[in-house]
A = this chain, B = another copy of it.
């Protein structure tokens, strides 16, 4: 059974709520999930997981410093994450407020780890986005994302 890490930084609780929904959906889809705050994750911890999903609020169109700090520390397992599943999500203050570029900033880091990321032809294409507190649309997006991510992690692990 693949092990998936869902880690996040959250100030207002919106990103945390998304993380919980994604974690729950992934778990129900048959992967083992660990839900952690970014600052509690050690850089070398990444190597323990078959899939890593990272959430951040949209701060100036790029992941928050707390999240980037975790990624910078993940240099400790550079070269060990090739081919594993990666994903990203964000909660944002307003529409077109930098949410897509925030997700892309996380995906870029995961790609540089040699990880594998998937988009979606429906909804928020690059990863789940909430505008303000997660509404019904955002919640469903998170649930669907967790499920789909679990499938990807299983496939890549096979």
Measuring CB to CB, which residues of chain A are less than 8 angstroms from any residue of chain B? 59-66, 68-69, 71-72, 74-75, 78-79, 81-83, 94-101, 104-105, 108-126, 129, 131, 151-152, 155-156, 158
Chain B's closest residue to A137 (CB) is B95
Inter-chain contact B108/A126, CB cutoff 8 Å: yes
Q: What CA separation (Å) do A129 and B131 show in the bound complex? A: 15
A125 / chain B contacts, CB cutoff of 8 Å = 61, 96-98, 111-112
Given A100-B100, A114-B120, A118-B114: A129 and B61 interface contact (C-beta under 8 Å): no
Can you tell how many copies of this chain the complex includes?
Answer: 4
Q: What CA separation (Å) do A131 and B74 show in the bound complex? A: 22
Q: What CA separation (Å) do A66 and B65 show in the bound complex? A: 7
Given A124-B95, A156-B155: A108 and B65 interface contact (C-beta under 8 Å): no
Q: What CA separation (Å) do A100 and B108 show in the bound complex? A: 11
Inter-chain contact B60/A64, CB cutoff 8 Å: no
Given A117-B117, A118-B83, A155-B156: A95 and B62 interface contact (C-beta under 8 Å): no
Inter-chain contact A60/B71, CB cutoff 8 Å: yes
